[in-house]
Amino acid sequence: MQKTLIDTIPIDLPKEIESLVLGAKVYDSSCASGAKVFFIDKDSGYYLKTDKKGSLEREYMMTSYFHKKGIGAEVLYFGSNECDIMITAKVQGEDCVNKKHTDEPKRLSILQGEELRKLHELDYSDCPCFNKMEEYVNLAQHNYLTDNFDKTHFPDNFGYSSAEEAYKVLMDGKGAFKSDVLVHGDYCLPNIILKDWKLSAFIDVGGAGVGDRHIDIFWGLWSLGFNLQTERYNDLFLDAYGRDKIDKEILKIVASAEVFG
């Protein structure tokens, strides 16, 4: 995760967390999304994430839930006033795009598949977000109707030539989706933190909830191809996950939804 040293966090902080930043070096660790992320280099480290009001509540709930399951960061503060602010303790370890992990792509691909299968076998009966698939399809429908269509970042074998083609596949196939596992929602290598090649935590779980496993499988495959610049390790990932649970036709339906963001 990239970090750029900055003078100060460019928002007004609530008084109860001002002391957390006082005297600390602060780094901008934001990626391309709308949210801003700052690393506070103090004690064992903290991450402060901020976004528009109402946008981080789901992530707060699911980060807390993942932490309760022993696979997520600890939330130290959440507040919503002019904007949402969430502070989490730094998870020990490095993400899976760290060079020490990508230098061993076979080992990394197998581990990625194994950890995803473990996630999908967790008891989700107490999950606070059970309507993942309804939200998932509704978002794709909304983006179709508002002409939000982007197929440029998908593998060729999942590509669709038009919004209409993708939308028809989604509408015809959405009945095949199940809600029978706890999904991450953005199962990409940067969101998996390892310490000594063992899972430390999953991060960025704002899209998590009870849903269809193929969403995570799809993004796992996409991330391997994108971050390793090759698809040669896909079979290792799929074998490690377990092909008995994978339906390629449902992966195509997931792809038809994902082109709508």
Across 32-46, 84-98, 233-247, least confident range: 32-46
What average pLDDT does this structure show over 195-218?
97
pLDDT value of residue 12 = 86
Sheet of 83-89: strands edge to edge? Answer: 4-6, 25-28, 36-41, 46-52, 83-89, 75-80
| Boundary of a domain, candidates 74, 89, 104 | 89
* Predicted TM-score (pTM) of this structure: 0.93
Is the domain of 129 the same as that of 24?
A: no
Domain that residue 58 falls in: 4-89
**Is the pLDDT at 32 greater than 70, yes or no?**
no
Is the domain of 26 the same as that of 126?
A: no
**Is the pLDDT at 96 greater than 80, yes or no?**
yes
Main-chain phi, psi angles of 223, to 5 degrees: -65, -40
- Mind listing the pLDDT tens digit for each residue in 149-188? 876 666 554 678 888 999 999 999 999 999 999 999 999 9
HSE value, Cβ hemisphere, 13 Å, CA-based, for 42: 17
Per the structure, the count of domains in the chain is 2
Among residues 163, 156, 162, 204, the alpha carbon closest in space to that of 184 is found at 204
pLDDT value of residue 151 = 66
Is the domain of 170 the same as that of 45?
A: no
- Mind listing the pLDDT tens digit for each residue in 46-62? 999 999 999 999 999 99
Report the C-alpha gap between 186 and 219 in whole angstroms. Answer: 6
pLDDT value of residue 50 = 94
Is the domain of 28 the same as that of 138?
A: no
Is the domain of 107 the same as that of 201?
A: yes
**Is the pLDDT at 17 greater than 70, yes or no?**
yes
Q: Using 50, 70 and 90 to split pLDDT, how confident is the model at 135?
A: very high
Report the C-alpha gap between 97 and 99 in whole angstroms. Answer: 6
Q: Tell me what percent of the residues of the chain surpass a pLDDT of 90.
A: 80
| Boundary of a domain, candidates 89, 108, 138 | 89
Mean of pLDDT over the chain: 93
Is the domain of 85 the same as that of 212?
A: no
β-strand partners of 87: 48, 77
- Residue 16 is part of a domain; what is its CATH number? 3.30.200.20
Is the domain of 101 the same as that of 135?
A: yes
pLDDT value of residue 67 = 98
| Boundary of a domain, candidates 89, 110, 126 | 89
Torsion of CA 167, 172, 174, 175, to 10 degrees: 170
Q: Which of helix, strand or coil describes residue 200? A: strand
Is the domain of 99 the same as that of 145?
A: yes
Is the domain of 81 the same as that of 62?
A: yes
Is the domain of 72 the same as that of 168?
A: no
Torsion of CA 247, 156, 237, 30, to 10 degrees: -120
Both tokens assigned to 234: 């896909």
Catalytic residues: 186
Is the domain of 73 the same as that of 106?
A: no
Is the domain of 101 the same as that of 79?
A: no
